[in-house]
Amino acid sequence: MKKYPPAYYSDYLGLDKLLSSQELLSKKYDSEAHDEMLFIIVHQAYELWFKQIIHELDSVINMFRHEYIDEVNIGIAVSRLARITDIQKLLIEQLRILETMTSLDFLDFRNFITPASGFQSFQFRLIENKLGLDPTQRTMLNEKGYRSYFAEKHQKQLKESEEQSSLFHLVEKWLERTPFLESEGFNFWESYKKAVITMLDEDKQTIINNPIISEEKRQKELNAHENTRENFRAIFDQDKHDELVHKNLRRMSFRATHAALFIHLYRDQPILQQPFKFLTLLVDIDELMTAWRYRHALMVLRMIGTKIGTGGTSGHDYLKMTVEKSKVYQDLFNMATFFIPRSTLPPLPDDIKKKLGFFYTTQQ
């Protein structure tokens, strides 16, 4: 067996460097603030976890760059995305530790750190870009894009990360390639459409016949019902779908949306369980990002009230705005709009199961 030199714990983990990287600005400026150590360590812990998230995301992105993705890789991607969600849960919990620092304690050193801000977290922006945050949805700050608030070396890398295929785009392509959407003798869309129309007609009758609501309420409900019908039209009509994409109300392509819907509706089939888990994890990651953003905005409110941020935004108001504007997988989030009861779904034919490469039979 090959011999390797003995590893030493501290050297292996680079602890000399890591543990000497907490330089308190308050100490440097002869006004040492006890809580600045906590402030630095919490941020550093975040950045370490961001590094791990990027490591996992990059590996999944690399798998999805290929035209053909083996079923085994979907399983690996699922376990890596699940790891990201566990880290994210920890990241939300971690804010609590920072909240043991009071607002007054923060004021002891806040002046020293201006204009640095989490707004300039390079790795956080990389995560957003790799997940597929739409650059046009980003908020301009003083009429400048977020990249201009970074050092030059980071600006370049951020631009590159925007230009590379994000997980969103690769997943969209993967969904578009799924072979089971058209198959001879399998009229899923026809059966689905019929079931949808029956369901919508029944819903409408329920509203019309409801004896306990006022006429005004009935009209409101009928209007809402018409909106639902309109949403469904976009599932059947590519032009309608593209119109919604144009208005930023949908993002995923028509074909990818169909494939995602199909996977959700037929998720009980063993062949679709991993793809279903995969899509669900993307929604989980998006939701946990949103939860972190909201939780961070609340912490900021109790920490600095409605003061502006050290990075120059309006602070809490800006952060509240990014909560809603930063969702990436909105189409997958809203998928439930198009679900119909299992009992109305046409059965999946054998040739489709074969096409997906997850088929075993003892019959000749």
Binding-site residues, in ranges, read 39-43, 110, 296, 310
Please state, in angstroms and rounded to a whole number, the distance separating the CA atoms of residues 269 and 77.
19
How many residues make contact with ligand HEM (CB under 6 A)?
23
Q: Comparing C-alpha atoms, which of 53, 181, 188 is closest to residue 128?
A: 53
Cβ of residue 203: shortest distance to ligand HEM, in angstroms?
Answer: 38
Interacting residues with ligand HEM between 150 and 169 (CB under 6 A): none
Binding residue for ligand HEM (CB under 6 A) from 60, 131, 288, 303? 303
Q: Does 98 bind ligand HEM (CB under 6 A)?
A: yes
Stretch that binds ligand HEM, among 147-155, 179-187, 316-324, 331-339 (CB under 6 A): 316-324
Q: Does 275 bind ligand HEM (CB under 6 A)?
A: no
> Which is closer to ligand HEM, CB of 37 or CB of 245?
37
Q: Does 318 bind ligand HEM (CB under 6 A)?
A: yes
Binding residue for ligand HEM (CB under 6 A) from 240, 244, 301, 312? 312
* Strands, E assignment, 85-213: none
Please state, in angstroms and rounded to a whole number, the distance separating the CA atoms of residues 50 and 127.
8
Stretch that binds ligand HEM, among 12-20, 115-123, 205-213, 222-230 (CB under 6 A): 115-123
The string over 242-256, giving b where at least 16 C-beta atoms fall within 10 Å of a residue's C-beta and e elsewhere, is eebbeeeebbbbbbb
Q: Does 319 bind ligand HEM (CB under 6 A)?
A: yes
Around Cβ 50, how many Cβ atoms within 10 Å? 19
Q: Does 304 bind ligand HEM (CB under 6 A)?
A: yes
Binding residue for ligand HEM (CB under 6 A) from 127, 261, 322, 353? 322
Q: Comparing C-alpha atoms, which of 98, 105, 103 is closest to residue 32?
A: 105
Q: Comparing C-alpha atoms, which of 292, 302, 301, 299 is closest to residue 322?
A: 292
Please state, in angstroms and rounded to a whole number, the distance separating the CA atoms of residues 253 and 33.
53
Q: Does 147 bind ligand HEM (CB under 6 A)?
A: no
Stretch that binds ligand HEM, among 60-68, 305-313, 333-341, 355-363 (CB under 6 A): 305-313
Interacting residues with ligand HEM between 14 and 43 (CB under 6 A): 42-43
Spacing of C-alpha 218 from chain mean position: 37
Measuring CA to CA, how many Å separate 154 from each of 50, 58, 141, 151, 189?
16, 18, 18, 5, 47
Binding residue for ligand HEM (CB under 6 A) from 31, 89, 92, 118? 118
Sign of torsion over alpha carbons 136, 131, 44, 307: positive
What is the contact surface with ligand HEM in residues (CB under 6 A)? 42-43, 46, 98, 106, 117-119, 121, 124, 296, 300, 303-304, 309-313, 315, 318-319, 322
